[in-house]
Structure 1
Amino acid sequence: MAVRRKVGIAVDFSPCSREALRWASENLVKEGDHLILISVQPSSNYEQGAAQLWQATGSPLIPLMEFSDPSITKKYGVKPDAETLSILNTVSHQNGIEVMAKIYWGDAGLKICEAIADVPLNCLIMGSRGLTGLKRALLGSVSRYVVNHAVCPVAIVKDSHQSHR
């Protein structure tokens, strides 16, 4: 019996995270894998719904069917976009991949690294916003933090639609 890999995708429902999801679904995940979406919400969302219950450990793993239900995702303070859900449904149905989501609250870099160990993930894919120079120095880089602190392989997917800066 083949080992079922747990492939993580860090998502914030931005164009660059959709690009990372699309890349992983076309190039990495294969039948029998588990695709685990990792979403980190700002700490300010602690007060909303189920977030208070799960702030220390992150949410339980949420199956794709429930993650597609706005009444359920609202409890966790997330709003997955239609395009992301479409990609997930396609990869799930066409490729026989089990899709789950796990929501965290707090610092994105820290929580993504925590998720890698908690789930645990075999690898992580994430998008890069492509910040350069001063913006990166002021805002920091979640992808750089994760690459330097993760306990599994990490692939960074650049948004192919970004203009060159």
Structure 2
Amino acid sequence: MAMEGRKIGLAMDFSKGSKAALKWAIDGLLRKGDTLFIIHVKHAQGLESRNLIWSTSGTPLVPLAEFCDPEVMHGYGVQPEPDVLELLELISKQLEVTVLWKIYWGDAREKVCEAIGSLELDAMIMGSRGLSAIRRVLLGSVTSYVLEHATCPVTVVKDRGNEC
């Protein structure tokens, strides 16, 4: 599949932060001819036997039309939220952006970086969960890890709903 335009990745876990990142990308980054790769990482313990074939490299690229099919997504163990699907269908049609999903199983930090390299992304967009410094140290931060290890520019979008 020959792709025109830029290859932009977006980490999507359906959190407020990742939804804010999607809205930010729609409002000011994406343009006609771009390809938006939605990167979704599931915990490895949720890996069902039918998905073992993709456990190391992730699924094949899933077109938006297939991702909108509840039966297809049930097979991958993903329950996309309707508001996210609506936004993606909107940009696909109005902005003429190609939207593809890639689902990985494992550690989100490593898998997002793997996606950046294997998909040869021009940029990566991520939402911030707004963890405090102490919680980041105790829990780790996917965003911090990706910022340090990514081979392309990374933009972190804060969910403005958490501001004082």
The structure 1 segments of at least 4 consecutive aligned residues displaced by more than 4 Å after TM superposition are none
Shift of 1:136: 1.2
Query: Is 1:100 equivalent to 2:100 in the alignment?
Result: yes
Of the structure 1 ranges 76-85 and 107-116, higher mean CA displacement relative to structure 2 is found in 76-85
2:123 corresponding residue in structure 1: 123
> 1:71-110 maps to which residues of 2 (within 5 A)?
71-110=71-110
1:32 corresponding residue in structure 2: 33
Query: Is 1:4 equivalent to 2:5 in the alignment?
Result: yes
Q: Which amino acid aligns with 1:65?
A: A
Give the paired residue count. 162
Distance 1:162 1:78 in 2: 26
Shift of 1:59: 0.4
Identical counterparts, % of pairs: 46
Q: Which runs of 5+ in 2 are unaligned?
A: none
Q: Which runs of 5+ in 1 are unaligned?
A: none
1:17 corresponding residue in structure 2: 18
CA RMSD of aligned residues (A): 1.3
Distance 1:7 1:161 in 2: 25
Distance 1:7 1:84 in 2: 17
Distance 1:52 1:83 in 2: 29
1:47 corresponding residue in structure 2: 48
TM-score (norm: length of structure 1): 0.94
After superposition, the C-alpha distances for 1:58-103 in whole angstroms (9 at most, x for unaligned) are: 0000000001111111111111101110110111111001100000
Distance 1:71 1:145 in 2: 34
SS in 2 for 1:161: helix
Distance 1:8 1:146 in 2: 12
